[in-house]
Amino acid sequence: MINRTLPLLLALGLTGCASDPAPIEQLRLTEQALAQTKSLGVVSEQSESLRQAEDKFSQARAAMQDGENKQARHLAEQAELDARLAEAEHLNAKGREQLTELNQRIGRLRQQLGAM
């Protein structure tokens, strides 16, 4: 019985030890998301989400250099999501500003029409 289970246990042990591939593509996607967010004018000094994305991206790169590919992938995915969140927050704030401006213009037009 031991002779039969030993190869099976060795095979399972080796597959469990197989390292994850380096998350090169995920790091590229994350870097792209960060660049896109920054191109909109979002700065980490004003956006907590962007600051977190940059921190996690740095941690992901360090983890990959240390050979911790699973952790690196996880951090890179989180960083990408944080960058996308920062972008969405920025666009949402811009939309609110535009809405406020339009409401002010409508109010001025109503005043002008009421004065006639």
Banded model confidence at residue 115, pLDDT cuts 50, 70, 90: confident
pLDDT confidence of residue 93: 95
pTM of the model: 0.75
- What share of the chain has pLDDT > 70, as a percent? 84
H-helix or E-strand spanning residue 20: none
List C-alpha distances in Å: 70 to 19, 55, 90, 109.
Answer: 8, 17, 30, 58
Orientation of helix 24-39 relative to helix 69-115, angle to 10° = 20
Region of 97 on the Ramachandran plot (φ > 0 left; ψ -120 to 50 alpha; else beta): alpha
Inter-residue contact 82 to 50 (CB < 8 Å): yes
> Which one has a higher pLDDT value, 23 or 7?
23
pLDDT reported for residue 5: 55
Q: Which among 58, 62, 64, 59 has a CA at the least distance from the CA of 21?
A: 64
Residue 112 clears pLDDT 50, i.e. is over it: yes
pLDDT of residue 7: 53
* pLDDT one-digit tens code per residue, 29-72: 999 999 999 999 999 899 999 999 999 999 999 999 999 999 99
Q: What distance in Å separates the CA atoms of residue 62 and residue 55, rounded to the nearest whole number?
A: 11
What CATH number does domain 24-115 carry, 3.90.180.10, 2.60.40.1930, 1.20.1270.390, 3.40.47.10? 1.20.1270.390
Give the separation between CA 45 and CA 28, rounded to whole angstroms: 23
